[in-house]
């Protein structure tokens, strides 16, 4: 019998990622097409994950030029690269240990990068940020995984519990499972525009009493998959709640640059916390996480991110430093992109116009995709949705007839999973079933990535439309799922924080 | 407890429903999930005094008073995360390679910059195996292809040789959206895994290698930590024990401590050039079996920090031992190109295992690790690496795949670099000559420095250095005067830490004390890389020599 039959119980408890299953199937279908297997489509469109460049959104030229220059400094001679790129490269090369090449740097990132990040945070929030509190990681997930190690398991005999929104980013729950923490769900309610509700947080705390040692609260703002953006007041309420309940706040703010409605402004947890003043501002422990993967950089493949730790006990510093040091250090390419993200070209520099243009153009693509997507969803029966205020996803709700539910149950699948799998097989289009992200039973959603090239989005929406109408013909009874007493999501009120690119077609509102 | 077959088999969607669990029960995806993440038992919603946004916002006087009292209580109370509430395993983690010496070195550098007078002008960090930081030139071909991958507009630039363009295009084609900025499969890009498997086959003289057994990783460390995590199970006397060499690379002890596994030391024999003795393995295992379940045997070959290269016979012995004791073998082979001493040759565990016949090749479980950070590449910052798993149970492999998917994909530039390392320029290609020249120069240079280091250190009375047969470090034993040992102990420091700290303060040279790697009790060492350029290395060694003589005199 193989030794490995007894393996880590924690690993066994990590759920299978639906995302991975779908991705593998996508790869397989692509291979089939290449081998000449007949399909009703020429290529597969995978809109299941927030991966902008995979969906042909362009990387920022400045970022890529700087990377190329750092990798191959010979390019600095001559004018292949613009002057400000060359300057940036020289600055970066000068800061690292090796001459002329970037190399292994101090584990939690080079000093200068920490300083640049803390400057960025200070500019963003209007409050000081200490570079010593910034740890650079291989993307946001690595930051979460390392942070969780600090208090999972904890000093008590009970398992560590973490308040986690449902629905929310699946990867965080996988990280919790991998480390052996308990998910204490608090439900975001569609009928309240996916806003965090204090009474729901309090209810969730009560469910945890006696079962686990509740130590942290995970929030994700702007929301994934919900597209909700928290107001400053709401954030302050959450902070007060965390203070009362003695919870570390883990704020996932990777979509901070993705504000969709015009006039929408991102308020970081750090800023809200500092505005609240003492005792909160020097008491509540906050870990704020950002990444180069999301937002308008979209550099998922380079793997770069950081976490800022605020108000952690000074006695913990050595342990935190040690832990981050013992972890493999962040990739240099990721560090370089991170450097550009927090210190982009400035007005007057040669690359500034192009950089700004590209950022705007990516942003425009996402906003157009939101409008386009919601337009198509509007035309489809049995689909309802909430406004998309920020982030990279739409999260419409699909109502299934009893026949469809029966059909999926016969296959041992949740209806939304069945829907997405069929959509993939029949139309070569991949969305993520809401099931993967955690939902109330009997209510079904699909997550649609909006960070894609516009042509791809158009094609995807056409396929969705074709499929959905065919699906409704197959399962025509449009009854609501049994016992559904939820108020109609259309009555949600989020208009106060909604901005519109075009006043004639309000984003996120169904007529 | 049954193991769920959690990896989706690639079946058409209609059969997805028939994914089964170990029990043979039909298992829907829903239930799979629910048995997955541990949720707190779901109690029915409890009514709670309404604390909505509005009534919190309207603070009347009573509430204000209460708030003041609350605020006072808040400001007095302790933080949530303290030494008492934290994960106790983390307290035990030590990572000497970046420990207090290195932190002090960074501080000294800062002081020098600020104009503080020191008996030296610069800090020389000979503590870490970072080749490029020490002036080793990166391989032009690698950098050219990576630059092209980063900024494909350069494909039109005629300064780049044709083969670099071809390689870049091939890699980009395998990336989502033809960009290295897209996620890849968690296990790594398929065509890179194929390159790796063909490389292994060539290296091992035709021993077959299945790309499905290759996992691309974020440097070798990621692979090692992942495997240790997968293998750590049980509680108390059934807790997984992991056998590691002493001296060891502290990543192992750090990961073992963090996971709460049991560290089992086997000592390398310094008198036999850090040789590995099977009877010592036996001793270590026997001593351990009373209090844990020894299941993993880690070998670092060529050795870090000790620089020895295992002979083929010794590897055979180790494999036989692992087979007999049913241990999972983890072979850290990141220095596989760094072999310098005459008569020494690198043998991979995989090749030896194969040549021992099917009895072994089809049963012994092995994970072998490699990286782009060492050898002639020295690209530590790219975080490229792979592991090959052999004879792993298919259900367990599914668990491994699931575990690696939690951290998403390894950095794509590192994956791309792995493709270039394992599929380097061939004769006839434009970059071939220069590639070969650079590789040979780097490895030749290292061989020379290995020899130089050993020779100079051995001229110092009180320093004894084994031949640096391979890898990138020397790990000499130092004789410390009794008085120095006493003084160190009074300060609560390991004697070699005391020594290295003094060396740093007086000369600016940053070495890692042997205590950070583990050593036989009563012996003291330091680890020094052989990476600095030869002229600098000579100065460094002579400074160490002077310091050692001064130190010995001062404390005698």
Residues of B in contact with A184 (CB under 8 A): 39-40
Q: Are the CB atoms for B133 and B125 separated by under 8 Å?
A: yes
Q: For the segment A146-160, what is each residue's pLDDT rounded down to a tens digit? A: 999 999 999 899 999
Cis peptide before A87 (omega within 30 of 0): no
Q: Indicate the pTM of the whole model.
A: 0.90
Q: Which of residues 185-214 of B touch A (CB under 8 A)?
A: 185-186, 190
Binary contact (A176, B37; C-beta < 8 A): yes
For residue A405, the 8-state DSSP code is H
Q: For the segment B425-453, what is each residue's pLDDT rounded down to a tens digit? A: 999 999 999 999 999 999 999 999 999 99
Binary contact (B408, A285; C-beta < 8 A): no
Task: Flag whether pLDDT at B475 surpasses 90.
Answer: yes
Task: Flag whether pLDDT at A106 surpasses 90.
Answer: no
Residues of B in contact with A173 (CB under 8 A): 37
| C-alpha span between B136 and B111 (Å, rounded) | 27
Task: Flag whether pLDDT at A103 surpasses 70.
Answer: no
Nearest residue on chain B to A244, judged by CA atoms?
Answer: B74
Mutation choice for A interface testing from B101, B220, B406 by most A CBs within 10 A: B406
Mean pLDDT of A65-69: 96
Task: Flag whether pLDDT at A386 surpasses 50.
Answer: yes
Q: Which of residues 442-461 of A touch B (CB under 8 A)?
A: none
Tell me phi and psi for residue B464, to 5 degrees.
Answer: -130, 125
Q: Which residue has the tokens 């790869």?
A: A27
Q: For the segment B404-425, what is each residue's pLDDT rounded down to a tens digit? A: 999 889 999 999 999 999 999 9
**Residue A4's pLDDT band (cuts 50, 70, 90):** low
**Residue B87's pLDDT band (cuts 50, 70, 90):** very high
Instruction: Give the HSE-up count for residue B208: Cα atoms under 13 Å, Cβ half-sphere.
Output: 6
Q: At a CB cut-off of 8 Å and minimum separation 6, what does A360 contact?
A: none
Distances (CA, A) of A164 to A193, A268, A310: 18, 18, 20
| C-alpha span between A47 and A26 (Å, rounded) | 11
Structural domain boundaries in chain B: 13-86, 96-134+438-554, 137-182, 185-410+418-422
- Predicted confidence at residue B77, as pLDDT, reads 76
Residue A278 burial (C-beta neighbours within 10 Å; 0-12, 13-18, 19+): exposed
* Closest in B150, B184, B407 to A67, CB measured: B150
Q: For the segment B160-181, what is each residue's pLDDT rounded down to a tens digit? A: 999 999 999 999 999 999 999 9
Residues of A in contact with B158 (CB under 8 A): none
- Same topology, domains B137-182 and B185-410+418-422? Answer is no
| C-alpha span between B426 and A169 (Å, rounded) | 45
Mean pLDDT of B307-332: 97
Token couple for A469: 């109408």
- Predicted confidence at residue B127, as pLDDT, reads 83
Share of chain A above pLDDT 70, in %: 89
Binary contact (A14, B36; C-beta < 8 A): yes
* Element housing B32 (H / E): helix B29-34
**Distance, first Cα to last Cα, chain B:** 63
**Residue B336's pLDDT band (cuts 50, 70, 90):** very high
Mean pLDDT of A4-33: 88
The alpha carbon of residue B343 is apart from the nearest alpha carbon of chain A, in Å, by 32
Closest CA to B117 of B422, B403, B505: B505
| C-alpha span between A468 and B384 (Å, rounded) | 43
Token couple for B113: 């910059």
Residue B115 burial (C-beta neighbours within 10 Å; 0-12, 13-18, 19+): exposed
- Check residues B29 and A31 and name the one with the higher pLDDT: A31
| C-alpha span between B544 and B502 (Å, rounded) | 11
Q: For the segment A459-470, what is each residue's pLDDT rounded down to a tens digit? A: 999 999 999 999
Q: For the segment B3-37, what is each residue's pLDDT rounded down to a tens digit? A: 332 233 333 332 332 232 232 223 334 333 443 56
Token couple for B247: 């001296």
| C-alpha span between B195 and B178 (Å, rounded) | 19
Nearest residue on chain A to B75, judged by CA atoms?
Answer: A279
- Torsional sign, CA B114, B115, B119, B123: positive
Mean pLDDT of B75-98: 85
Token couple for A57: 């959104």
Sheet holding A446-449, edge to edge: A393-394, A446-449, A432-433
Nearest residue on chain B to A320, judged by CA atoms?
Answer: B90
Binary contact (B51, A198; C-beta < 8 A): yes
Please tell me the total number of residues recorded for chain A in this structure: 511
Closest CA to B305 of B165, B151, B127: B127
Residue A482 burial (C-beta neighbours within 10 Å; 0-12, 13-18, 19+): exposed
CATH topology of domain B137-182: Helix Hairpins (1.10.287)
For residue B188, the 8-state DSSP code is -
Residues of A in contact with B128 (CB under 8 A): 104
Task: Flag whether pLDDT at B62 surpasses 80.
Answer: no
- Predicted confidence at residue B64, as pLDDT, reads 62
Task: Flag whether pLDDT at B474 surpasses 50.
Answer: yes
Binary contact (A233, B190; C-beta < 8 A): no
Binary contact (A299, B393; C-beta < 8 A): no
The alpha carbon of residue B419 is apart from the nearest alpha carbon of chain A, in Å, by 16
pLDDT, mean over chain B:
87
Q: For the segment B263-292, what is each residue's pLDDT rounded down to a tens digit? A: 999 999 999 999 999 999 999 999 998 899
Cis peptide before B305 (omega within 30 of 0): yes
Q: Helix (H) and strand (E) counts for chain A?
A: 16, 14
**Residue B457's pLDDT band (cuts 50, 70, 90):** very high
* Closest in B138, B181, B186 to A59, CB measured: B181
Q: At a CB cut-off of 8 Å and minimum separation 6, what does A283 contact?
A: A243, A311, B74, B75, B77, B79
CATH topology of domain B185-410+418-422: 3.40.640
Provide the 3-class DSSP secondary structure of residue B391. Answer: coil
Domain over B96-134+438-554 is classified CATH 3.40.50.300: no
**Residue A481's pLDDT band (cuts 50, 70, 90):** very low
pLDDT, mean over chain A:
88
Q: Are the CB atoms for B197 and B190 separated by under 8 Å?
A: no
- Predicted confidence at residue A18, as pLDDT, reads 87
Provide the 3-class DSSP secondary structure of residue B551. Answer: helix
The alpha carbon of residue B339 is apart from the nearest alpha carbon of chain A, in Å, by 23
């Amino acid at each position: 019998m193989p030794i490995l039959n007894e393996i880590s119980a924690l690993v066994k408890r990590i759920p299978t990622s639906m995302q991975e299953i779908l991705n593998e199937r996508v790869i397989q279908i692509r291979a089939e097409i290449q081998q000449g297997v007949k399909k009703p489509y020429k290529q597969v469109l995978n809109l299941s994950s927030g991966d902008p460049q995979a969906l042909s959104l362009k990387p920022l030229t400045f970022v890529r030029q700087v990377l190329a220059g750092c990798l191959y400094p010979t390019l600095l001679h001559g004018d292949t690269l613009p002057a400000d790129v060359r300057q940036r490269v020289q600055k970066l090369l000068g800061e690292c240990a090796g001459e002329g090449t970037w190399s292994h740097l101090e584990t939690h990132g080079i000093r200068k990068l920490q300083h640049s990040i803390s400057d960025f945070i200070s500019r963003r929030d209007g409050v000081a940020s200490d570079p010593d509190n910034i740890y650079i990681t291989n993307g946001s997930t690595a930051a979460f995984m390392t942070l969780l190690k600090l208090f999972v398991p904890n000093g008590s005999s009970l398992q560590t519990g973490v308040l986690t929104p449902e629905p929310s980013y699946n990867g965080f729950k996988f990280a919790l499972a991998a480390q052996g923490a308990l998910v204490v769900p608090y439900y975001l309610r569609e009928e309240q525009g996916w806003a965090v509700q204090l009474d729901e947080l309090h209810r969730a705390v009560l469910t945890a009493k006696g079962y686990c040692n509740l130590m942290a609260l995970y929030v994700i703002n702007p929301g994934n998959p919900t597209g909700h953006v928290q107001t400053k007041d709401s954030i302050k309420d959450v902070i007060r709640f965390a203070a009362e309940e003695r919870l570390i706040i883990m704020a996932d703010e990777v979509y901070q640059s993705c504000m969709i409605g015009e006039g929408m402004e991102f308020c970081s947890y750090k800023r809200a916390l500092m505005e609240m003043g003492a005792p909160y501002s020097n008491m509540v422990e906050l870990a704020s996480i950002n990444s180069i993967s999301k937002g308008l950089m979209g550099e998922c493949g380079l793997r770069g991110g950081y976490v800022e730790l605020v108000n952690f006990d000074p006695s913990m510093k050595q342990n935190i430093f040690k832990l981050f040091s013992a972890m493999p250090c962040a990739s240099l390419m990721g560090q370089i992109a991170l450097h550009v993200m927090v210190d982009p070209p400035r007005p007057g520099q040669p690359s500034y116009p192009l950089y700004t243009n590209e950022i705007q153009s990516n942003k425009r693509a996402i906003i157009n995709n939101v409008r386009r997507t919601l337009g198509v969803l509007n035309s489809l029966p049995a689909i309802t949705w909430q406004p998309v205020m920020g982030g990279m996803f739409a999260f419409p709700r699909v109502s299934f007839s009893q026949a469809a539910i029966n059909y999926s149950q016969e296959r041992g699948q949740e209806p939304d999973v069945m829907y997405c799998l069929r959509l993939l097989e029949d139309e070569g289009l991949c969305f993520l079933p809401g099931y993967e992200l955690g939902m109330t039973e009997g209510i079904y959603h699909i997550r649609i990535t909006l960070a894609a090239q516009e042509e791809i989005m158009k094609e995807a929406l056409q396929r969705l439309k074709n499929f959905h109408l065919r699906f409704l013909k197959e399962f025509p009874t449009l009854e609501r799922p049994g016992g559904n007493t939820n108020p109609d999501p259309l009555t949600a009120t989020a208009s106060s924080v909604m901005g519109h690119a075009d006043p004639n077609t309000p984003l996120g509102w169904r007529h | 407890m049954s193991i769920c077959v959690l990896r989706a088999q690639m079946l058409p969607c209609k059969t997805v429903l028939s994914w089964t669990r170990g029990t043979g029960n039909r298992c829907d995806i829903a239930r799979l999930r629910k048995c997955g993440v541990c949720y707190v038992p779901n109690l029915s919603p409890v009514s709670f005094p309404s604390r909505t946004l509005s009534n919190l916002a309207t603070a009347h006087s009573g509430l204000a008073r209460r708030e003041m009292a609350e605020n006072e209580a808040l400001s007095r109370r302790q933080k949530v995360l303290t030494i008492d509430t934290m994960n106790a395993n983390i307290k035990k983690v030590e990572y000497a390679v970046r420990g207090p010496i290195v932190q002090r070195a960074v501080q000294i550098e800062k002081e020098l910059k600020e104009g503080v007078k020191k008996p030296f002008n610069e800090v020389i960090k000979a503590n870490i195996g970072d080749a490029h930081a020490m002036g080793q030139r990166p391989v032009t071909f690698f950098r050219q292809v990576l630059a092209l991958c980063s900024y494909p507009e350069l494909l039109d630039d005629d300064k780049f040789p044709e083969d670099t363009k071809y390689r870049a295009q091939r890699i980009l084609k395998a990336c989502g959206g033809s960009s290295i900025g897209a996620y890849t499969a968690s296990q790594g890009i398929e065509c890179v895994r194929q390159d790796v498997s063909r490389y292994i086959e060539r290296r091992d003289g035709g021993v077959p290698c299945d790309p499905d057994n290759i996992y691309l990783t974020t440097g070798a460390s990621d692979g090692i930590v992942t495997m240790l995590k997968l293998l750590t199970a049980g509680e108390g006397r059934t807790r997984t024990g992991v056998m590691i060499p002493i001296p060891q690379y502290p990543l192992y002890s750090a990961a073992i401590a963090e996971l709460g596994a049991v560290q089992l030391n086997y000592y390398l024999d310094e008198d036999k050039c850090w040789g590995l003795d099977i009877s010592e393995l036996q001793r270590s295992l026997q001593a351990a079996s009373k209090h844990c379940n020894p299941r993993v045997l880690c070998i670092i070959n060529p050795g870090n920090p000790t620089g020895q290269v295992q002979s083929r016979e010794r590897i055979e012995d180790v494999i036989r031992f692992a087979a007999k004791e049913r241990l999972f073998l983890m072979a850290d082979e990141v220095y596989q190109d760094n072999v310098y001493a005459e008569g020494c040759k690198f043998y991979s565990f995989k090749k030896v295992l194969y040549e021992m016949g099917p009895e072994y090749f089809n049963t012994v479980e092995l994970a072998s690790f490699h990286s782009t950070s060492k050898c002639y590449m020295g690209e530590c910052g790219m975080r490229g690496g792979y592991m090959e798993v052999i004879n792993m149970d298919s259900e367990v492999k599914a668990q491994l795949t699931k575990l690696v998917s939690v951290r998403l994909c390894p950095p794509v530039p590192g994956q791309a670099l792995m493709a270039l390392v394992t599929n380097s320029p061939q004769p006839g290609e434009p970059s071939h000559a220069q590639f070969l020249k650079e590789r040979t120069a780097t490895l030749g240079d290292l061989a020379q420095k290995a020899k130089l280091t050993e020779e100079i250190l051995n001229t110092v009375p009180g320093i004894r250095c084994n031949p640096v047969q391979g890898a990138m470090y020397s790990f000499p034993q130092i004789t410390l005067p009794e008085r120095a040992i006493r003084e160190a102990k009074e300060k609560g420091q390991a004697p070699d830490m005391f020594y290295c700290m003094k060396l740093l303060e007086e000369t600016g040279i940053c070495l890692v004390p042997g205590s950070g790697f583990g050593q036989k009790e009563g012996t003291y060492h330091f680890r020094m890389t052989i990476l600095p350029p030869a002229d600098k290395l000579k100065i460094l060694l002579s400074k160490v020599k002077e310091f050692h003589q001064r130190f010995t005199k001062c404390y005698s």
